Amino acid sequence: MTTTARLLQLLSLLQTGREWPGSLLAARLDVSERTVRRDVERLRDLGYRIAGRVGPAGGYRLEAGSDLPPLLFDADQALAVAIALQTVRGGTPMDEAARRALGTIRQVLPAPLRHRLDAVEVTTVSVPGDGPAPDVSLDAVATVAAAIRARETLRFDYSPRGADGETLDTARPPRRAEPHHLVTAGGRWYVLAWDVDRVDWRVFALDRLRLRTHNGARFAPRPVPGGDAAAFVSGRFRGSESGEWPCRGTVLLRLPARDVLPFAGDGIVVAIGDEACTLEAGSWSWVALAASFARFDAPMEVIGPAELSAACATLAERFADAASRAADGTSALR
């Protein structure tokens, strides 16, 4: 084995995170312990911080340093990282950093791995109504993550709209929250936190949050309701605490199931012959649910419950009123 190959194999062993006795490293590399000591010094010269302890219980351990040294990935790790970098949504500083990192990794991949990576084309899109991903900096993500790890209260101003360049009213008292989790959904970043002043859990959009200081008072972490942060945040988005839609109903659509499935989201589609299907879905209100069924632009029948039928009647009245005003040339805004 050449010296370079041996150094790479030694680095691969040290990156596992455990402490290696010099004798075991020598056996793995099929060299003397004196050669191991020399190789460790070579890695230290390259910028790797390798701690060593003498004695029967001693050994070598790779530690974090002030600079980022070259990393060593096996084939599966390199491919997984490269594919994950492709899924970062566009238009933000984070996306630009991900593209540069992907280019760096691709440049040094062996030809077989590079061909496998090039065969994987990942396109990330927004769901209808999702809009472009807001601008979130890497510094903001890292700062909030550090506060979560250190269990430090955040003090921040919170924009009501999150528009770029918006002037915040800094004369108002800052919000105070105990951050517990960073959550991503649809290309957006959120902070699940306990609001100190409102005495309740809140989900803050990270792009609307302007930190005043992150090293506030220490706090003891609270258990997230239900024990699952992802499920809790998903439930908040749906308007419930359980993670389920608060309103759920079923209709019969005069459309083939194959035409409904691509737009059913988390709904359940069941084919009824070749030209009809049932769709069970949920929403945050009965009227919103009725409107979501109406978007399929097809004759439908309400299977249940009664609240959904009443919501359809409410929508019908509103649409009839809108059509009547359009025909008469009148407007409620005048």
- Per-residue pLDDT, averaged over 271-278, amounts to 89
138-238: in CATH 1.10.3470: no
Tens digit of each residue's pLDDT (9 = 90 or more) over 6-40 = 888 888 788 777 788 888 888 888 898 889 889 88
Q: Which residue has the higher pLDDT, 67 or 194?
A: 194
Report CA dihedral (25, 26, 31, 32) to the nearest 10 degrees. Answer: 140
Q: Give whole-number Cα distances, 145 to 68, 110, 207, 212, 216, in Å.
A: 19, 34, 14, 15, 14
Give me the residue spans of the domains in the chain: 3-63, 75-118, 138-238, 247-325
Q: Which residue has the higher pLDDT, 110 or 261?
A: 261
CB-based contact 136:189 (threshold 8 Å):
yes
Tens digit of each residue's pLDDT (9 = 90 or more) over 125-158 = 555 445 556 667 777 887 888 888 889 999 888 8
CB-based contact 250:303 (threshold 8 Å):
yes
> Residues 6 or more apart from 98 whose CB is under 8 A from it?
85, 88
Strand partners, 183: 190
Residue that is written with structure tokens 């990393």 in the block: 71
CB-based contact 241:199 (threshold 8 Å):
no
One-letter amino acid for residue 134 of the chain: P
Q: Give whole-number Cα distances, 178 to 174, 192, 193, 200, 323, in Å.
A: 13, 9, 5, 11, 50
The rounded mean pLDDT for the chain is 79
Q: Give whole-number Cα distances, 214 to 157, 169, 220, 299, 333, in Å.
A: 12, 19, 16, 55, 46
CB atoms under 10 Å from CB of 179, counted, come to 26
Tokens of 268: 């359940």
Say if pTM beats, i.e. exceeds, 0.95.
no
* Same fold for the pair 138-238 and 247-325: no
**Model confidence band, residue 162 (pLDDT cutoffs 50, 70, 90):** very low
Assess whether pLDDT exceeds 50 at residue 186.
yes
Q: CA 220, CA 303: separation in Å to the nearest integer?
A: 49
Q: Find, among 73, 68, 66, 1, the residue nearest to 39 by Cα.
A: 1
Q: Which residue has the higher pLDDT, 120 or 78?
A: 78
Q: Find, among 107, 51, 65, 61, the residue nearest to 82 by Cα.
A: 107
Q: Which of 106-115, 178-187, 315-324 holds the top average pLDDT?
A: 315-324
pLDDT attached to residue 251: 92
CB-based contact 44:14 (threshold 8 Å):
no
**Model confidence band, residue 238 (pLDDT cutoffs 50, 70, 90):** low
Class at the top of the CATH hierarchy for domain 247-325: alpha beta
- Per-residue pLDDT, averaged over 223-246, amounts to 74
Tens digit of each residue's pLDDT (9 = 90 or more) over 244-261 = 778 889 999 998 988 888
CATH of domain 3-63: 1.10.10.10
Residue 253 burial (10 A CB sphere; 0-12, 13-18, 19+) = buried
Tokens of 136: 């979130």
CB-based contact 60:48 (threshold 8 Å):
no
